[in-house]
Amino acid sequence: MQWDIHNSSSYLEMLLTGRTRFFQRLVIALKIVKLEEAPSLETVKGRHGLILQSGEKIMMMVLTVEPGIPTPPHSHLHEQIGYLIEGRGILFSGGKSIEIEAGTSFLIPPHESHNFNATGEKPATIIDVFSPPRKDYLKKVE
């Protein structure tokens, strides 16, 4: 069927059909994951992750870091944004160390050496977002 832009009913039909197709694609792409159903992995000793979402260009997880189990700094090709939702610790990034507590967010550029060690008696919980997704983590939960 050809759409005639000068025929308002034909044009309206085109807009509505296009909008319906758009929303159908949107609904198909929607992915819901409940915390208790999230794939689980140990990233390294003392660090337990739950992958909440992973898309084509971004991944989100919750990471629990046990206190008293330090790991050496590392780097990866991913841009990383974190938000400490519980606990406290020492964040090392870009040659600097800073103590952070719940309510603190941070951004780590790709390839920058970094690490986080929980301090105190309770584990620290971080929401981590990576772009692109961490394929190494995704392989662990397949």
Using the structure block, give the residue that is written with the tokens 């319906």: 20
Residues sharing a CB contact under 8 Å with residue 130, sequence separation 6 or more, in sequence order: 58, 59, 60, 61, 78, 79, 80
Window from 15-24, 66-75, 112-121 with minimum mean pLDDT? 15-24
Question: How much is the CA Rg of the chain, to the nearest whole Å?
Answer: 21
Residues sharing a CB contact under 8 Å with residue 115, sequence separation 6 or more, in sequence order: 70, 71, 72, 73, 74, 91, 92, 93
Q: The pTM is what?
A: 0.78
Domain ranges of the chain: 1-30, 35-140
Looking at every residue in the chain, the average pLDDT score rounds to: 88
What CATH class does 35-140 carry?
mainly beta
Q: Indicate if the pLDDT at residue 101 is higher than 60.
A: yes
- What is the C-alpha to C-alpha distance for residues 11 and 4, in angstroms, rounded to an integer? 6
pLDDT 10s digits, 46-83: 999 999 999 999 999 999 999 999 988 999 999 999 99
